[in-house]
């Protein structure tokens, strides 16, 4: 293992080197801070960075603990940045909204506390779209996070800052959150692994509502399957304050069955033409599935078995009901309506006439959809479809208005492929699937497992990595030293 550039190592490689005293926490922190200073102004992935001097003092304290024989855990001394939806004590929690720029957290979110207990040092927050709405990371407060592979393109979102920070080696690993693909889409567009856990796997605390608002979840993103698994195991687990948290633990980290032999995969594709998809995306995903077939998987085309149009309408009701209160809380501030992006106002305003009966009808349809997904999982280990319906688009756009000649009727219709795992409460993996015809822009394959089968997806990620398709180890081009910031 080459230790000359700590930022080139995986999180677990760094962990082993620190514990063996082959690298000091100060050396690791210094290397990442130098890279952050050089590259972050060009990508705008990290925001509200802590002062270097304070972070180096924390690294020195972590080294002193090691010298005394105290090891906090596998993240001991690793720099970590928290998505700006999460609370990290002493850092602002802005949700990408300039109206909240001075809202400093007094306590840690539960998953942040768990990562700190495992030894990480919080260096910053990661950028996101305002209120996490839309899969394109831009806001008036911090600007636009651009793609790690092409700085003229979108990084995805809403965990876009996290994805670019990992891909450009500003962080060894990162957390994110996922409502409508917010971990999966940026992972796909930056050639990473991203995992949306099962509903309740990573409990959210503190939150104003603990019973209804279950569509969003925190989760991990990483360059390697092993790092992904390590971070999820740190974030996951029950907490007595969170009544709907899953009680059963993930299995201990062991050598997984790194084989696709006999694995049954149902290929949903574009849902028999329902999803608008840009040219080349389905072909890249089908190429990844053929690689799995060559390794012994059984892949079959699969009809949805549900009405995508009806599920979409039910989804809109749930989304409005859950998004609107967060926007409403900020609308009370002076001048808020003029300063909040129109998509957030649309979500809020659409929800104002929503009745409880309408919500319950949508919930009933969701229950029927969930039952159909369980019938699929009685036949298949995994369901597959693209993570994204478009290639990374021009970063100057707010969202794609058309896909393959079809108009998008909402700001998030182009992200429709990601809602099915969320609505079923199921875990979903964004797995690097390949690149566009020019070999420049990444794309991901979305694999959905049955609810609570998160461990299967961790095994699948490791199995995919073990197959070692020649392009999987590709990393984004190193920006030229004299390049101008975007």
Is 24 among the catalytic positions? no
- Active-site residue flag, 368: no
Please work out, in degrees rounded to the nearest 5, the angle formed at the alpha carbon of residue 416 by the alpha carbons of 415 and 417: 95
Q: H or E segment at 193?
A: strand 193-196
Residue in 83, 116, 125, 341 annotated catalytic: 83
User: Is 182 a residue of the active site?
Assistant: yes
Q: Report the candidate in 370, 371, 384 with the shortest Cα–Cα distance to residue 302.
A: 384
- Residue 377: its H or E element: helix 356-379
* 86 phi/psi in degrees, rounded to 5: -95, 155
Give the tokens for residue 304: 């949805």
Bridge partners of 469, per DSSP, are none
For residue 481, how many other CB atoms are within 10 A of its CB?
6
Count the neighbouring beta carbons within 10 Å of the beta carbon of residue 402.
12
Catalytic residue among 10, 158, 198, 430: 158
In the structure encoding, which two tokens stand for residue 242, read together?
Answer: 């969170």
Distance CA 111, CA 203 (A): 8
Q: What tokens does 73 get?
A: 């855990």
- C-alpha distances (whole Å) from 277 to each of 155, 245, 462 are 18, 35, 28
Q: Are 411 and 343 in contact (CB under 8 A)?
A: yes
Q: Of these residues, 182, 198, 341, 430, which one is catalytic?
A: 182
**Active site members:** 83, 158, 182
């Amino acid at each position: 293992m080459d230790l000359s550039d700590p930022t080139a190592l995986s999180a677990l490689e760094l962990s082993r080197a620190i514990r063996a005293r082959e690298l000091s926490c100060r050396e690791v922190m210094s290397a990442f801070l130098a890279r952050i200073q050089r590259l972050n102004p060009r990508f705008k992935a990290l925001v509200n960075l802590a002062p270097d001097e304070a972070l180096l003092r924390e690294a020195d304290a972590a080294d002193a603990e090691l010298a005394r024989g105290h090891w906090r855990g596998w993240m001991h001394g690793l720099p970590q940045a928290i998505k700006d939806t999460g609370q990290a004590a002493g850092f602002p929690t802005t949700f990408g909204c300039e109206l909240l720029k001075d809202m400093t957290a007094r306590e840690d979110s539960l998953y942040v506390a768990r990562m700190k207990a495992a030894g990480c040092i919080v260096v910053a927050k990661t950028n996101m779209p305002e209120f996490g709405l839309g899969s394109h990371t831009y806001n008036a407060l911090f600007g636009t996070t651009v793609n790690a592979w092409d700085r003229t393109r979108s990084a995805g979102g809403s965990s876009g800052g996290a994805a670019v920070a990992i891909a450009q080696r500003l962080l060894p690993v990162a957390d994110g959150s996922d409502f409508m693909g917010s971990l999966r889409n940026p992972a796909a567009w930056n050639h990473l692994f991203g995992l949306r856990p099962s509903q309740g796997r990573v409990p959210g605390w503190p939150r104003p509502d603990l019973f209804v608002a279950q569509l969003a979840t925190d989760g991990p993103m990483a360059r390697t399957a092993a790092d992904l698994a390590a971070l999820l195991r740190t974030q996951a687990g029950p907490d007595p304050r969170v009544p709907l948290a899953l009680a059963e633990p993930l299995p201990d980290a062991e050598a997984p069955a790194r084989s696709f032999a006999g694995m049954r995969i149902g290929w949903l594709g574009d849902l028999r033409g329902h999803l608008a998809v840009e040219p080349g995306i389905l072909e890249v995903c089908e190429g990844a599935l053929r690689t799995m077939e060559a390794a012994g998987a059984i892949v079959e085309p699969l009809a949805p078995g549900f009405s995508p149009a009806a599920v979409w309408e039910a989804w809109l009701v749930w989304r409005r009901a859950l998004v609107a209160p967060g926007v409403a809380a900020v609308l009370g501030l002076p001048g808020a309506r003029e300063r909040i992006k129109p998509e957030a106002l649309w979500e809020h305003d659409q929800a104002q006439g929503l009745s409880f009966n309408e919500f319950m009808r949508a919930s009933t349809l969701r229950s029927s959809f969930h039952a159909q997904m369980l019938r699929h999982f009685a036949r298949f280990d995994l369901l597959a479809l693209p993570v994204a319906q478009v290639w990374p688009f021009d970063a100057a756009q707010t969202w794609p208005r058309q896909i393959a000649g079809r108009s998008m009727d909402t700001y998030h219709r182009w992200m429709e492929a990601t809602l099915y795992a969320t609505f079923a409460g199921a875990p979903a993996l964004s797995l690097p699937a390949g690149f566009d015809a020019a070999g420049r822009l990444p794309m991901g394959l979305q694999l959905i497992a049955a609810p609570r089968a998160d461990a299967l997806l961790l095994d699948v990620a490791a199995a995919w990595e073990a197959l070692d398709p020649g392009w999987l180890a590709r990393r984004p081009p190193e920006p030229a030293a004299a390049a101008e910031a975007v």
